[in-house]
Amino acid sequence: MMGNQNHKRHLLLRMQNITKRFPGVLALSGVYFDLYPGEVHLLIGENGAGKSTLIKILSGVYRPDEGDIFVEGKRVNIQKPHQAKELGISTIYQEFALIPHLTVAQNIFLGREISANGIPFLIDNSSIDDSCQILMERLKLPLRPREYVRNLNTAEKQLVEIARALSTKSKILIMDEPTSTLTSREIDRLFDMVIQLKEQGVGIINISHRLEEAKRIGDRVTVLRDGKHIDTLAVKKTGIDHLISLMVGEEISDRFPKEKTEEGPEVLKVRNLTKHPFFQDITFSLHQGEIVGLAGLLGSGKEKILRAICGIERFSTGSITVGGEPAKISSCQDAINCGISYLPSDRKEEGIILRMTVRQNVTLSSLKNHCRLGILRSKKETKVAHEFAERLQIRMPSIRTLVEYLSGGNQQKVIIARSLCCRSRIFFFDEPTQGIDVGAKVEIYHLLNELVRQGAAVLLASSELPELMGMCDRIFAMYHGEIIGEYNAQEVSQEELLRAIFGKEKHSRDEMPVHMHH
């Protein structure tokens, strides 16, 4: 079962009867979890199942209301994050805790700086750079110690987080959705690192919603549901469908519940859109009632295209037509006025305001509709927010709950509710199911169906190919800033799409494969 047989005898970690309450919510109820040295123990469950709460207790962010934690057989009392670190517990969170204006090396050694000539407060940056370079070589990471973190893409920031955790001699490494922002090549590199760590006897707790992927490196898996421990199983002997049914409490018969809709008139036409060096000569159209996919690796330019059409970034040449009329979009407000909504991949940074309530977030972009003579009518605002929250089945104690207390899937629904509240007709989704669980994914897919059923058009950018093949009508493949193929989602194979996005298979638009749409 374990990476190394002689690690089997003694537990590295035991958490028992862990209970945690928040106002109006029992987040964990008597949960048991353990970990052996040299093992990868997967922790899975739907959003709101209690996974993040459990690891925040282990890493000293929260204190449990009841229960005990034992590390290497000794009972420990973890009150603060630094106590967890002293016990050899490191955490890589889904939300990065990096400082943008410091370098890679400075972020990795933050709080453990090397002083120059033994003088406190005087930092020896060149020694930090050297130590960082050695670490990069050991971990085989392609990062430059002196590069500023603000210049890195999401995947590179994730690698900095991982390097920082591994630079301290951790016995227990907690990874919260470590692959949600990585390309398949970077995932392979991460898994190679995980295997090295297992061989060194490090115990790894991996929270992941990508079950196929997690099964590649997991030894055991624990399922949480509604704050309770449901089961702990050997990964090798457990099928994904069984895990999903344990997580959800019922079978999810269809992971991609795509509905057939009638394609209506063209609502958006993009011609020769170019912004060097990010993308060039992008031409496509969107029709009412269809979901069109944009497939590509990180850095392929797909996110930049969405942001350019939505007025967040400028493009240099090209034209956009909405509903047959030329559209001049140079700001987000212009896009909203044209009925275009953008749902960013980074929910917490760009999508929602965590310290505002569900009501405030839902009505944020359409406040003028709830005003009279410039005064906000809060009754009307509350009524509208309620309607959308109900329509999208947002799970929350109340409309006045702060959005930061909702699970990832419910936060995503809040952003969709806001777009609907603006009466948008064209929706751009960038990685809409990144970091959310299977059950919540299916709910998001039902929402996509609902949108196109009501005559909206959806452009879905995703690095999850099964999602695109399962939910789209057509798929555009992107490689190095160009659309290099257009496919019928029902007929294309995953292998064909992979070859395209890795640049192995290139079609000019004139000689598209036969199964192309239009």
Q: Return the half-sphere exposure (C-beta side, CA atoms, 13 A cut-off) of residue 114.
A: 14
Which domains does the chain carry? 1-88+169-253 (3.40.50.300), 99-168 (no CATH), 265-339+425-518 (3.40.50.300), 354-422 (no CATH)
Report in angstroms the alpha-carbon separations of 462 from 297, 301, 434, 500. 9, 12, 9, 14
Place of tokens 């005003």: 371
Q: Which helix (H) or strand (E) holds 337?
A: helix 332-337
Task: Tell me if 196 sits within 8 A of 30, measured CB to CB.
Answer: no
Q: In the chain, what's the furthest Cα-to-Cα distance?
A: 74
Residues 6 or more apart whose CB falls under 8 angstroms from that of 354 comprise 348, 402, 403, 404
Cβ neighbors of 94 (< 8 A, separation 6 or more) are 176, 177, 180, 435
Burial (CB < 10 A; 0-12, 13-18, 19+), residue 147, is: middle
Residue keyed to tokens 């109340």: 398
Q: Return d(Cα 198, Cα 67) in angstroms, integer.
A: 28
Tell me the pairing of strands 457-462 and 291-295. parallel
Question: In which order are the strands placed within the sheet that holds 74-76?
Answer: 25-35, 13-22, 66-71, 74-76
Contact 173, 146 (CB under 8 A): no
Per-residue pLDDT of the chain (518 residues; tens, 9 = 90+): 444 444 446 899 999 999 998 876 788 999 999 999 999 999 988 767 889 899 999 999 999 999 999 999 999 999 998 899 889 998 887 667 788 999 999 988 887 776 666 666 677 778 889 989 988 888 777 889 999 999 888 778 878 888 888 787 789 999 888 777 677 777 887 888 888 888 889 999 999 877 777 788 899 999 998 899 999 999 988 888 788 778 877 555 567 888 888 888 999 999 999 998 889 999 999 999 999 999 987 778 888 999 999 888 889 999 999 988 888 888 888 888 888 988 887 766 777 787 788 888 887 766 667 677 777 777 777 787 877 788 777 888 878 788 888 877 788 788 878 877 777 889 998 888 877 777 778 888 988 888 898 888 999 998 888 889 989 999 999 988 999 999 999 898 877 887 888 776 554 444 343 333 33
Model-wide pTM > 0.75: no
Q: Is the dihedral of CA 403, 404, 406, 408 positive or negative?
A: positive
| Through-space distance between the first and last CA atoms of the chain, rounded to whole angstroms | 52
CA angle 189/192/194 to nearest 5° reads 115
Where does residue 169 rank: exposed (0-12), middle (13-18), buried (19+ CB within 10 A)? exposed
Q: Tell me 328's DSSP state.
A: -
CA–CA distance, 383 with 442 (Å, rounded to integer): 27
In terms of Cβ atoms closer than 10 Å to its own Cβ (0-12, 13-18, 19+), residue 517 is: middle
Measured over the CA atoms of residue 330, residue 332, residue 335 and residue 336, the dihedral's sign is negative
